[in-house]
Structure formats: structure tokens, C-alpha cells
Amino acid sequence: MNIYLPIAEMSVNAALFLSMGCAVGFLSGLFGVGGGFLLTPLLIFMGVPSAVAVGTGSMQILASSVSGAIAQYRRKNVDVKMGAVLVAGGIVGSVIGVSLMKILRQMGQFDLFVSLSYVTFLGAVGALMMIESIGTLRRTGGHVARKTGQHSWVHGLPFKMRFHRSKLYISVIPPAMIGAFVGFMAAIMGVGGGFVMVPAMIYLLRVPTSVVIGTSLFQIVFVMAVTTLLQAMQNKAVDVVLALLLIVGGVIGAQFGASAGDRLKGEQLRFMLAALVLLVCLRIGWDLMTKPAEIYSIGPVLGGGF
């Protein structure tokens, strides 16, 4: 069944896009990740204009993280104060990202910027995860004891604030910066940014692992809501019909993914996720480096001109 997407302005096979949402939902349920980094490139690959893919992606991420965030909040796994700082930073980052996106689109360099961001972040995160998971697989369950109470440069900054639930007394600058960076990425790449925020909170801020997931979901929900709004206002890049197809597919897929994930070991999952991230990175990188079959492209003239 074909369905005409009002903002992307294209006729697509509804069943195909539903199953795409389903497949990405399955993987995100399996690995416990948002899946934005898979969905957005996939949409672009399917011919959805990259701006619409990115804008609609944020709406889909909002839908898929809201219930998780509420569940975490009920279980008191959210450090609301830390979350608020991350959100404040995130909104600033998102505003900058959406505005930059508008300028880049007018210059015709948005696609390039998206691809380069994907290659950089997926490459870095994928490689780190791969090294770590290979290490853990080798050690077969051996545990590395992390020293507590270690201080780093992060702890020497001003504007200190007490975060009770995280049992931290640190400057607000690092969490605000992390939030801003993630918000910026969210706007430009159409991802939630959990894959950057979670390690940053654990390793840089030393937030206890029990509240990391909940707090990052808390940030993602609010920042994604703001990003969706901004994308709709500034770039007219949110396709509600497309988002609904992806949300419905994604929710169904995530259920199966989560139950499949229960049967696999954590280290195996992390290794597979790392491999997947690197594959997506290589694929996008390959497209950037090889001579395209068509070196010309056409597009509408966007407001502001060239």
C-alpha cells in the first residue's frame, strides 16, 4: 500500500517503512539503544530528504524514549537536578544545531556535514566499544575494579552544585557542556545521543551507573521534544505521517528485540552492537570517499539564497 508523505513529498510503500521501523526497533530493543543512528541513515538511503530524515528522526526518538523515561522516573532512577542541567545545556545545543542546519542546507553542504558527523562519532564510539568488548570477552568475566573517589580535572571547575541522587558535588559546567554537545548532535544527526551521553556521564562525571540510564533518558525526552518543535518551526522538516509509520513499526519491533536480548550475554550484545555501529560508519564513509555515479544533484532554492 502506497502512502504519500506530506512533508517529504514522496509516495512510499507503507509496509516497507513499517517493517523498517520494526527492524530498527528490534535492534534497539535488543541492544537497549535508541536506534536513531540506524534509522536516520536508513531513511536517507531510502530517498527521504536528509533534513526530513533528521527532523522526523527526533520525533520518533521522542516517542520511543518517553515510556522508558517515565518507567525510570517511577523507579527513582532519575537524578532530576542533574537531568535539568543536561536539558538546559541540551536546549542550547539544539538551538545552535537547528540554526546551523538551516545555514548548511542553504549552502548545499548539509548532507556532507551529516555524513562526516556520522563517520566521526560512529567511528569513535564503535571503535571504543569494540576494544572494550573484545577485552571483556577475552577476560571472560574478569572484573576490573574501578577506583572510587578519584579526582580529575572535572572536579576542579567552579560553579559547584550538589547532586544528591548521584552523590556528587561537582561544577555544573561539565554536565551542561555534555548536554549541549548531545543536543547539538541530536539536531544535526537525528539521534538521541545516548551513546555519547552515557559513557560521558560514567567516565567524566562519575555518575553512579544506577541513575545514568534514567537521567540520560530524561534528557533525551526533553531535548527531543524541543528539537522536534524547532525542526518543525525552522526547517519544516518533521513529517508526522512518516514518524507515525516509524513509531508504530518501532514499538512492535522493540518488544521482540527486548525478549531476544534477554537470551544473549551482555558482552556478546556489546560486541554485536559495536560491529553494527562500525558497519554503519564504514558504509557512510565509503559513500563519501568513492566517486559517486552522479556528481550533479538538484534541489529547490531555499529561503536566503546562496
Length of the chain: 306
Which segment (60-68, 141-149, 157-165, 201-209) binds other proteins by CB under 8 A? Answer: 60-68
Q: How far is the CB of 153 from other proteins (least distance, A)?
A: 34
Say whether residue 60 binds other proteins (CB under 8 A).
yes
Which segment (63-71, 168-176, 198-206, 264-272) binds other proteins by CB under 8 A? Answer: 63-71
Q: Which of residues 245-264 bind other proteins (CB under 8 A)?
A: 245, 247-248, 251, 255, 259
Kindly tell me which of 18 and 178 has the beta carbon lying closer to other proteins. Answer: 18
Quick one: which of 6, 156, 266, 304 contacts other proteins (CB under 8 A)? 6
Q: Any residues with CB less than 8 A from the CB of 174 and at least 6 apart, and which?
A: 154, 157, 204, 205
Q: Any residues with CB less than 8 A from the CB of 181 and at least 6 apart, and which?
A: 89, 93, 196
Report d(CA 148, CA 8) in Å as an integer: 50
Q: How far is the CB of 229 from other proteins (least distance, A)?
A: 4
Report d(CA 81, CA 76) in Å as an integer: 13
Answer yes or no: are the C-beta atoms of 37 and 191 closer than 8 Å.
yes
Report d(CA 237, CA 234) in Å as an integer: 8
Q: How far is the CB of 122 from other proteins (least distance, A)?
A: 16
Say whether residue 101 binds other proteins (CB under 8 A).
no
Instruction: List, as one string, the DSSP characters of 22-37.
Output: HHHHHHHHHHTS--HH
Report d(CA 90, CA 302) in Å as an integer: 27
Say whether residue 87 binds other proteins (CB under 8 A).
no
Answer yes or no: are the C-beta atoms of 137 and 83 closer than 8 Å.
no
Say whether residue 277 binds other proteins (CB under 8 A).
no
Binding site for other proteins (CB under 8 A): 1-4, 6-7, 9-11, 14, 59-60, 62-68, 70-71, 108-109, 112, 116, 225, 228-234, 236, 238, 240-241, 243-245, 247-248, 251, 255, 259, 288-292, 294-301, 305-306
